[in-house]
Amino acid sequence: MRSLKVLLLEPHAYRLMNLHQMLNGLGIYDVRVAETTLQAHGVLERRGPVDIVICDPLSPEHDGMGFVEHLALHGLASALIVLSGARRSVLQGVVELIELSGLRVLGSTPAPASPSQLHPLLLQHPEAGPVA
């Protein structure tokens, strides 16, 4: 996969580490991590925009929808993958709201995700594909 820049926002350290290793296994090595939206803002400020953010905008641990709006408003990500344990009907509404903000949603998958669930979503990004 081409060199995608991915930001993982996950409040649980063990899930964050697991997702990071999963992305490395899929050939994505430019992975930035944050456990809180405050940390995520800092990462984006220091290292610049990313191609994809993977997060749960409905997480009770942080203001995910506010963070998503900030991403879209400031052009800090070109796409989002929703990783959530919420019901599909709830996720559909969230995806619609995110897309109205101008951020492209590559898809959603239940948490915790597997490589077989994440890989096809990552491949939907225009910068993804085999290394030349």
Give per-residue pLDDT as tens, 26-82.
999 999 999 999 999 999 999 999 999 999 998 877 788 889 999 999 999 999 999
132 within domain boundaries: no
> What's the pTM value of the predicted model, to 2 decimals?
0.91
H-type helices in 26-81, by residue range?
37-47, 64-74
61 within domain boundaries: yes
49 within domain boundaries: yes
pLDDT of residue 132 exceeding 50: no
In the prediction, which pLDDT does 94 show? 87
Rounded to an integer, what distance in angstroms lies between the CA atom of residue 19 and that of residue 10? 9
Radius of gyration for the alpha carbons in the chain, expressed in angstroms and rounded: 13
Domain count, the chain: 1
Q: Which range of residues forms the domain containing residue 105?
A: 5-122
Q: Comparing 9-13, 87-91, 127-131, which segment has the lowest mean pLDDT?
A: 127-131
Question: Tokens standing for 26?
Answer: 């899929």
Q: Is 55 helix (H, G, I), strand (E, B) or coil?
A: strand
110 within domain boundaries: yes
103 within domain boundaries: yes
Domain with residue 45: its CATH number is 3.40.50.2300
